[in-house]
């Protein structure tokens, strides 16, 4: 019976994904450990360390995965680790060849390498969703390249921008994350094989050959030396997921703010009953964004646990290592669930460009006060232009006029510019700077990821 909502059959649909849970499921973890044991036997047979028929029998038993849960549970409870029971079960399945199982390995070798195999598969799912989100946001940026809206700072209207640039800004972190991923993979997709104390003494002069062979057999990299107590790659992986969640949280926060009734510029995709209230029939809550934020906060809260677990004592740790198992599956499941929510929003968001324009006009042109000042500066000088525009803004606010009307009443302006010129100067669409060029740059970068 799951106690974490992310793992439940009902609430789990909100917090995670079946695909990622399948990667980090306990049964999948034990199968990964069996895969490592089988690969180790094959490599050692090739090197003449164990008999070839023994390796074949071990491989067959590992592939069957015939493990008795009650035996494993009893062993883990008694020993404190699952590998002693796993090796006993694997040896039972391999028959007479069972005595060659786990040759020269230690518990942490098997568990760490199994974890790395899970991480590799999990990163594949993460990457696929990041690419889909980047593609969707790139498409939205392209469509809304010239859709003018209010840019906001400190939750107040600041200067005009485009919704395309907003989408491009949402996409930007994921372009960076996709670029970081190959480097991360090279560091974390590393076999662990060091024996009891990181020396591989039980294998004589063949230890490094076995380590490198095991890495090749599993499609992993070989480390310079065993990393039993060097946990930075796994910590970096969890921190990487925390960074991804940071980008997701920014996206979700913006969607929530844009979906407010008083703003109403963007909404999550419409699905009948989605985000409904049990008492208020009119409600369409930004529920996907809310679960993105919940997942992001939890993932980022677990990053310090992994950083703290790097303080490992001597050649094998007394405690920090065990805490990693409480973190890694959870952060992968939550991050993937958040990415799935974000992908749905990115692909199907409802954009109200008319409402964007109406909101842009709420200040009757005051949002382009900077543009007017810069436009008048060549005629009046910058200091005088600032004074004139400030005075016009005060009049517009006091008398509830448009900035255009207030400027037209000022002789310092009307004597130099006609009404049409003033209207052009106060048009938000004429003060977008490099917004569209920035969109093009981000879209091009997203396209290159294909």
pLDDT given for residue 425 in this prediction:
84
pLDDT given for residue 411 in this prediction:
87
**Mean pLDDT for the chain overall:** 92
pLDDT given for residue 332 in this prediction:
97
Distance CA 127, CA 335 (A): 11
Q: Which residues contact 159 (CB under 8 A, 6 or more apart)?
A: 151, 367, 368, 370, 371, 431
Please check whether residue 168 is in contact with residue 85, taking contact to mean a CB–CB distance below 8 angstroms: no
Of 93, 111, 110, the C-alpha closest to 102 is: 110
**Taking residues 29-52, what's their average pLDDT?**
96
In order of 15, 300, 327, the CA distances from 5 in angstroms are 7, 18, 15
Least reliable range by pLDDT among 241-250, 346-355, 374-383: 374-383
Task: Report domain extents, the chain.
Answer: 5-15+107-148+156-353, 366-425
pLDDT given for residue 1 in this prediction:
72
pLDDT in tens, 99-158: 999 999 999 999 999 999 999 999 999 999 999 999 999 999 999 999 999 999 999 988
**Taking residues 255-274, what's their average pLDDT?**
87
Q: Is 316 a catalytic residue?
A: yes
Retrieve residue 328's tokens. 């890694």
Q: Which residues contact 127 (CB under 8 A, 6 or more apart)?
A: 178, 181
Neighbours of 3 (CB within 10 A): 6
Among residues 131, 142, 274, 316, the one annotated as catalytic is: 316
pLDDT given for residue 282 in this prediction:
54
SS3 18: helix
Q: Which residues contact 317 (CB under 8 A, 6 or more apart)?
A: 228, 229
pLDDT band, very low/low/confident/very high, at 379 (cuts 50, 70, 90): confident
Q: What percent of the chain has pLDDT over 70?
A: 97
pLDDT in tens, 292-325: 999 999 999 999 999 999 999 898 888 888 899 9
Query: In terms of pLDDT, which residue wins out, 30 or 282?
Result: 30
CATH number, domain 5-15+107-148+156-353:
1.20.200.10
Retrieve residue 403's tokens. 């900035």
pLDDT in tens, 66-109: 888 898 899 999 988 899 999 999 999 999 999 999 999 999 99
Residue 199 scores a pLDDT above 70 = yes
Query: Which CATH code, of 1.10.287.80, 3.90.170.10, 1.10.1660.10, 1.10.40.30, is assigned to 366-425?
Result: 1.10.40.30
Distance CA 217, CA 38 (A): 10
**Taking residues 225-245, what's their average pLDDT?**
96
Would you say the CATH fold of 366-425 matches that of 5-15+107-148+156-353? no
pLDDT band, very low/low/confident/very high, at 276 (cuts 50, 70, 90): very low
Query: In terms of pLDDT, which residue wins out, 396 or 53?
Result: 53
> 70 burial class (0-12, 13-18, 19+ CB within 10 angstroms)?
exposed
Among residues 68, 202, 277, 358, the one annotated as catalytic is: 277
Retrieve residue 71's tokens. 């035996």
Please check whether residue 54 is in contact with residue 91, taking contact to mean a CB–CB distance below 8 angstroms: no
φ, ψ for residue 116, nearest 5 deg: -60, -40
- In sign, the C-alpha dihedral spanning 131, 231, 69, 219 is positive
Least reliable range by pLDDT among 4-13, 29-38, 92-101, 300-309: 4-13
Retrieve residue 331's tokens. 């952060």
pLDDT band, very low/low/confident/very high, at 400 (cuts 50, 70, 90): confident
pLDDT given for residue 280 in this prediction:
47
Residue 274 scores a pLDDT above 60 = no
Compute the chain's Rg from CA coordinates: 30
pLDDT given for residue 284 in this prediction:
74
pLDDT given for residue 399 in this prediction:
87
pLDDT band, very low/low/confident/very high, at 278 (cuts 50, 70, 90): very low
Please, what is the end-to-end C-alpha distance for the chain in angstroms?
A: 42
**Taking residues 381-409, what's their average pLDDT?**
87
Query: In terms of pLDDT, which residue wins out, 4 or 305?
Result: 305
Residue 36 scores a pLDDT above 90 = yes
pLDDT band, very low/low/confident/very high, at 421 (cuts 50, 70, 90): confident
Q: Is 21 a catalytic residue?
A: no
pLDDT given for residue 412 in this prediction:
84
SS3 159: strand
């Amino acid at each position: 019976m799951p106690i974490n909502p992310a793992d439940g059959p009902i609430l789990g649909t909100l917090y995670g994904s079946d695909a990622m849970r399948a990667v980090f499921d306990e049964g999948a973890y034990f199968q990964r450990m069996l895969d490592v044991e089988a690969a180790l036997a094959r490599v050692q047979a090739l090197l003449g360390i164990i008999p070839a028929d023994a390796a074949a029998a071990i491989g067959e038993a590992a592939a069957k995965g015939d493990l008795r849960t009650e035996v494993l549970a009893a062993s883990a409870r008694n020993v404190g680790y699952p590998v002693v029971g796993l090796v006993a079960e694997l040896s039972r399945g391999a028959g007479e060849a069972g005595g060659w199982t786990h040759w020269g390995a230690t518990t942490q070798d098997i568990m760490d390498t199994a974890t790395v195999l899970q991480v590799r598969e999990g990163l594949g799912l993460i990457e696929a969703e990041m690419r889909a989100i980047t593609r969707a946001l790139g498409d939205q940026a392209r469509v809304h390249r010239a859709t003018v809206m209010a840019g906001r700072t400190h939750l107040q209207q600041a200067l005009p921008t485009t919704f395309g640039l907003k989408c491009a800004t949402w996409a930007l972190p994921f372009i960076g994350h996709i670029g970081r991923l190959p480097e991360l993979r090279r560091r974390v997709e590393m076999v662990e094989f060091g024996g009891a104390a990181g020396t591989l003494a039980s294998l004589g002069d063949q230890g490094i050959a076995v380590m490198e062979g095991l890495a090749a057999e599993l499609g992993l990299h070989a480390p310079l030396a065993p990393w039993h107590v060097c946990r930075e790659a796994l910590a970096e992986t969890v921190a990487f997921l925390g960074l991804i969640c940071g980008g997701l949280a920014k996206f979700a926060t913006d969607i929530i703010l844009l979906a407010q009734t008083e703003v109403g510029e963007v909404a999550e995709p419409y699905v009948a009953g989605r985000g409904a209230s049990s008492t208020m029939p009119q409600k369409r809550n930004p529920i996907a964004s809310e679960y993105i934020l919940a997942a992001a906060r939890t993932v980022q809260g677990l990053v310090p646990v992994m950083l703290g677990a790097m303080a490992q004592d001597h050649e094998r740790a007394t405690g920090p290592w065990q805490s990693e198992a409480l973190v890694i599956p959870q952060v992968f499941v939550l991050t993937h669930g958040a990415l799935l929510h974000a992908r749905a929003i990115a692909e199907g968001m409802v954009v109200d460009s008319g409402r964007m324009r109406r909101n842009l006009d709420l200040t009757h042109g005051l949002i382009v006060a900077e543009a007017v000042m810069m436009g008048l500066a060549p005629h009046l000088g910058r200091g005088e232009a600032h004074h004139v525009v400030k005075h016009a803004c005060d009049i517009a606010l006091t008398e509830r006029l448009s900035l255009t009307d207030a400027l037209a009443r000022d002789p310092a302006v009307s004597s130099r510019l006609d009404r049409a010129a003033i209207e052009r100067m106060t048009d938000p669409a004429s003060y977008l700077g490099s917004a569209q060029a920035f969109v093009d740059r981000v879209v091009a970068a997203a396209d290159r990821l294909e």
